[in-house]
Amino acid sequence: MDTILVVNAGSSSVKFQIFAIGEADGPQRLIKGQMDGIGARPRLRAEANDGSSVIDKAFGANEIADVPAAMTAVADWLRETQHFALVAVGHRVVHGGPIFEKPVIVDHDIVERLQGYVSLAPLHQPNNLAPIRLLLARRPELPQVACFDTAFHRGHSAVADHFALPEHFYAEGVRRYGFHGLSYEYVARRLREIAPEAATGRVIIAHLGSGASMCALSNGRSVESTMGFTALDGLPMGTRPGQIDPGVLLYLIMQRGMDPAAVQDLLYRESGLKGLSGLSNDMRDLESSAEPSAALAVEYFVYRIGLYAGMLTAALGGLDALVFTAGIGENSATIRARVVEKLGWLGARLDPSANAASKLLISQAGSTIRIYVVRTDEELAIARHTVSLLSDRVKSVSRAAR
């Protein structure tokens, strides 16, 4: 059975999935797993498509000290126990910069180009590239496909893409990219299946998780996003602040004497829900806490979502549907209810029982905006792109041979 491996590598975890390919209805998930707690309490867990566990193993911190070590352990386990015929690997890569507007088959030159965007995504890009480099060294014959979170937004208008800076900065790549594109791509496709009329209209997707953003779609295409040049902008996140006056950063550097590395650490690791609450970057902890600072962090999160929903509605010229997705969006009925309450001025009305049950459609019959909860699946989106590029490669070789 031919299979592909999909890898989504973060700073302290490596998520992976195995898909069977060759089926008429697309890639079929066989195994889903992750190695988390890297460098602290590493643990490898995986389950089959029916939900049964296939491994749950703890490691010593020194055994799995970094992402390459985690990837090696995952690869060794798959090779020794699963015996799949692996034909390609698909990777999530957060930043594609101004060059990469669609998935590509990776080589050493492309990896070096992507390395140039590390400063634009320091939490993600180095870890996205680590398993690619490892496999290029150990399995150079194995095709690898990089799928970019920025690619889905590359059709934005020049007005939406620009900052109000001299044009040469835009030419150098200083522009608004947008992120979470693989999630938005999957949800937009899923919406066409479950609600085709809504999908062709004016839609806001709220990807609410530890990383959070919102995207405005017209007829399934991204026209505006809350994130920009980096994954710092827009909504407050687990440890990132979201929108912030650039003057604050100048103040921190010029008046407080903070160096760029310290400012970067503050913005990526110590701000957002964690910074506001002083307690946690996890929404579940904040919702269950009685501390006033936790309540402030939650209210700030909801408030900013409401503000950006208004901005994105203006970009669309109206709103037909709102979709919640990702960890918080899919699982917190309370956050969904509070957000929809903020959008009452648009005619949004929630069905409390449907919301409590996290049903697909959670709006009332009389709501002027249809409200959905759609579980995202970035890995499946990556698998589809990987299969498509492999097919294109085979066709190119076949044409060249004729």
pTM of this structure: 0.91
* Predicted confidence (pLDDT) per residue in 52-62, tens digit: 999 999 998 88
Question: Cα separation of 7 and 131, whole Å?
Answer: 8
Question: Cα separation of 34 and 45, whole Å?
Answer: 6
Could you say which of 149, 161, 233, 377 is catalytic? 149
Query: How many CB atoms lie under 10 A from the CB of residue 37?
Result: 17
What token pair was written down for 161?
Answer: 């893409």
What token pair was written down for 256?
Answer: 């407080």
Task: Kindly report the backbone phi and psi dihedral angles of residue 343, in degrees, each rounded to the nearest multiple of 5, phi listed first.
Answer: -100, 15
pLDDT of residue 399: 46
Question: Cα separation of 222 and 199, whole Å?
Answer: 12
* Predicted confidence (pLDDT) per residue in 122-160, tens digit: 888 998 998 899 899 999 999 999 999 999 999 999 999
Q: Is the pLDDT of residue 396 over 60?
A: no
Surface-to-core class of residue 334, CB atoms within 10 Å of its CB (0-12 exposed, 13-18 middle, 19+ buried): middle
pLDDT of residue 392: 66
Q: Is 149 one of the annotated active-site residues of the chain? A: yes
Give me the residues paired with residue 7 across strands: 16, 91
Question: Who wins on pLDDT, 110 or 78?
Answer: 110
Pick from 348, 238, 349: nearest CA to 300:
238
pLDDT of residue 241: 96
SS3 143: coil
